[in-house]
Amino acid sequence: MAGDEQDRRARFEALAAGLVEPLRRYLARRTDPATADDVLSETLLVCWRRLEEVPEEPLPWAYAVARHALANAERSARRQRRVAGRVAALDPPAAVTADEPEVDVPLDEALAALRAEDAELLRLWAWEQLGPSEIAAVLGLTPNAVSIRLHRARGRLREELRKIGSPAGHEGSRGRSRS
Amino acid sequence: MSEPFDGQLDDDPRLRERLRAVDPAASLAPADPDRVARLLEATMSSTDHETETETETSGRTPRRAPFAWIAAAAAVLVLGGVAVAVTTTGDGDGERTPTAGGGGTDAPAVLTLAAPAAQEARCMVPTADVLAGQEVAFLGTVEEVADDTVVLAVDEQYAGTEADEVRVESPAEQMQLLVGAVDFRDGEQYLVSATDGRVTVCGFSGPATGELQTLYAEAFGG
């Protein structure tokens, strides 16, 4: 018994070693530091309890756990909800080092103009750097659906950027003449 | 049906780079190793009783959604047990125009959902607040009811990535429960919500009438 327990602990520690930093970043991008801490604990707890179910590719699974734990946390603090994305984007977490993220106001505005689902797809793609099948695992969708929606979300973001007058992406080379 | 067409759709690395440049976590300092060690220790020594009563021992339930346990947390109604007593503000302005599809060249977006896991006999009291937290919610017309599939054409979408068509696919047994709970019939209009890719029942999905309409209007109208 003791040996089993030791073994389980060792497996969890090995797993957690690879999850903590990505999860911290994931949460720092989406909520305030206090909630991020809470949700990180909650997420690790789920990983520990459900260690036997953690798939071979643990990170998307763990993101999905964190995503749901975060949704629960925000449901109980609903008022924060709308603000969370922006807080994360505009107000870097306290524990930052030298490199401040760039300020790109048009991009913030364009992202804010998107539907929440589209913006989240784009974050998972660009910030977590996940591929469609990984995003699918996080969101509980099929990879094909993710590919299609991601494609559309990128199109919508480009469109918003064009509206704002700050075109981007592969059509952006002609500069900012459009309105 | 296996490979998503990653490579064929544009990847737009420039857009990705631009997004990455504003990543709010890019400058997040790594966690203090001592704190992480303490956190892991606290995690492993936590007693296991808070959230769930579901046994960890059986691997019996096939393809259980990873988060089914969350849905089971607030026990109250019995599946199929019915009528929602919700006080209403009912101004019925839940009408929201579905966002127009941006790229007209795309194939119709199909969203695939599953029936709720069969073991979930209990569920939450339907409230607008909980409903508003559902990942997918839409008004749809049933186009097909088969043993293991229900196909709905989306008439209006209130939450979730937009789709033109929703297919609910599950093994016949689970589907039977769902069809029984929601009473899906060909040609009728339904309000349907889902989370974790599974249709939520227990008063959250059903024929688009009276109380349910009010509930949806309350959840998504403002």
Q: Is residue B215 part of a domain?
A: yes
List, in order, residues 6 or more apart from B36 with CB less than 8 Å away: A16, A20
Q: What is the pLDDT of residue B122?
A: 59
Q: What is the pLDDT of residue B115?
A: 82
One domain, residues A65 and A108:
no
Q: Is residue B162 part of a domain?
A: yes
> What is the C-alpha to C-alpha distance for residues B88 and B90, in angstroms, rounded to an integer?
5
Q: What is the pLDDT of residue A81?
A: 44
Residue span of the structural domain in which B156 resides: 67-101+108-220
Is A98 in Cβ contact with B27 (below 8 Å)? yes
In this structure, are residues A38 and A73 in contact, taking their beta carbons and an 8 Å threshold?
yes
- Take residue B189 and report the two structure tokens written for it: 């209009």
What stretches of chain B show up as alpha helix (H) in DSSP?
13-21, 33-45, 68-71, 128-132, 172-182, 210-220
Question: What is the enclosing helix (H) or strand (E) of B206?
Answer: strand B206-207
Q: What is the pLDDT of residue B94?
A: 37
- Take residue B41 and report the two structure tokens written for it: 């220790």
- What does DSSP say about strands B122-123 and B136-145: parallel, antiparallel, or unpaired? unpaired
**Which pTM does this prediction carry?**
0.52
One domain, residues A144 and A70:
no
Contact with chain A for residue B18, Cβ under 8 A: yes
Question: What is the enclosing helix (H) or strand (E) of B158?
Answer: strand B149-159
Q: What is the pLDDT of residue A126?
A: 95
Q: Is residue B134 part of a domain?
A: yes
128-187 of B, contacting A, C-beta below 8 A = 129-130, 133, 135, 160-162
One domain, residues A132 and A91:
no
Q: Is residue B137 part of a domain?
A: yes
Q: What is the pLDDT of residue B96?
A: 37
Neighbours of B100 (CB within 10 A): 7
> What is the residue-wise DSSP string for B84-115?
-------------PPPPPS-TTSPPPEEEEBP
In this structure, are residues B165 and B151 in contact, taking their beta carbons and an 8 Å threshold?
yes
Alpha carbon separation from B99 to A48, A112, A118, B158, B196 (Å, rounded): 41, 15, 12, 10, 22
One domain, residues A82 and A130:
no
Alpha-carbon gap: A90 to the closest alpha carbon of chain B (Å): 8
| Domains: count for chain B | 1
Q: Which phi-psi region, left, alpha or beta, contains residue B47 (left: φ > 0; alpha: ψ -120 to 50)?
A: beta
One domain, residues A119 and A35:
no
Q: What is the pLDDT of residue A27?
A: 96
- Take residue B149 and report the two structure tokens written for it: 């599939």
2-41 of A, contacting B, C-beta below 8 A = 9, 12-13, 16, 20-21, 24-26, 28-29, 40-41
Residue span of the structural domain in which A111 resides: 102-179
Q: What is the pLDDT of residue B76?
A: 32
In this structure, are residues A130 and A143 in contact, taking their beta carbons and an 8 Å threshold?
no
Q: What is the CATH number of the domain that holds A87?
A: 1.10.1740
Q: What is the pLDDT of residue A99?
A: 53
Single-letter code of the amino acid located at A117? E
Which of A78, A100, A122 terminates a domain? The answer is A100
Alpha carbon separation from B46 to A72, B52, B205 (Å, rounded): 20, 14, 37
Contact with chain A for residue B14, Cβ under 8 A: yes
In this prediction, residues A20-45 reach a mean pLDDT of 94
One domain, residues A89 and A125:
no
Q: Which residue has the tokens 């094909």?
A: A144
Task: Tell which wins on pLDDT, A169 or A175.
Answer: A169
Q: Is residue B83 part of a domain?
A: yes
Q: Write out chain B's pLDDT in tens, 222 residues.
A: 444 444 444 578 999 999 999 998 988 888 888 889 999 999 998 865 444 433 333 333 333 343 333 333 333 333 333 333 332 333 333 333 333 333 333 456 788 888 877 555 456 678 888 888 888 999 998 988 888 889 998 888 888 877 888 999 888 877 877 777 788 888 889 999 998 888 888 788 888 888 888 899 888 875
Q: Is residue B44 part of a domain?
A: no
DSSP code for B2: -
Q: Is residue B158 part of a domain?
A: yes
Contacts of B196 in chain A (CB under 8 A): 68, 140
- A-B contacts (CB, under 8 Å): 183
| Integer-rounded Cα radius of gyration of chain B | 21
Which of A66, A100, A134 terminates a domain? The answer is A100
Which of B44, B58, B35, B59 is closest to A7 using CA atoms?
B44
Contact with chain B for residue A63, Cβ under 8 A: no
- What does DSSP say about strands B122-123 and B189-195: parallel, antiparallel, or unpaired? unpaired
Average pLDDT, chain A: 82
- Take residue B162 and report the two structure tokens written for it: 């937009």
Is A148 in Cβ contact with B109 (below 8 Å)? yes
Q: Which phi-psi region, left, alpha or beta, contains residue A169 (left: φ > 0; alpha: ψ -120 to 50)?
A: left
The pLDDT tens digits of the residues spanning A95-124 come to: 444 455 568 889 989 999 998 889 999 999
Cα–chain center distance at A70: 11
Q: Which phi-psi region, left, alpha or beta, contains residue A128 (left: φ > 0; alpha: ψ -120 to 50)?
A: alpha
Is B112 in Cβ contact with A68 (below 8 Å)? no
One domain, residues A5 and A16:
yes
Q: Which residue from B minimizes the CA distance to A48?
A: B44
Q: Is residue B181 part of a domain?
A: yes
The pLDDT tens digits of the residues spanning A127-170 come to: 999 999 999 999 988 899 899 999 999 999 999 999 988 876 54
- Checking ipTM against 0.95, whether it exceeds it is no
> What is the C-alpha to C-alpha distance for residues A36 and A44, in angstroms, rounded to an integer?
12
Closest residue to B70, CB basis, from A68, A144, A145: A68
Which of A37, A72, A100 terminates a domain? The answer is A100
Q: Which residue has the tokens 């696919």?
A: B169
One domain, residues A75 and A13:
yes
| Domains: count for chain A | 2
One domain, residues A93 and A19:
yes
Torsions phi, psi for A32 (to 5 deg): -80, 160
Closest residue to A140, CB basis, from B24, B39, B197: B197
Neighbours of B81 (CB within 10 A): 13
Q: What is the CATH number of the domain that holds A165?
A: 1.10.10.10
Q: What is the CATH number of the domain that holds B210?
A: 2.40.50
Contact with chain B for residue A49, Cβ under 8 A: yes
Q: Distance between the two ends of chain B, CA-based, in angstroms?
A: 39
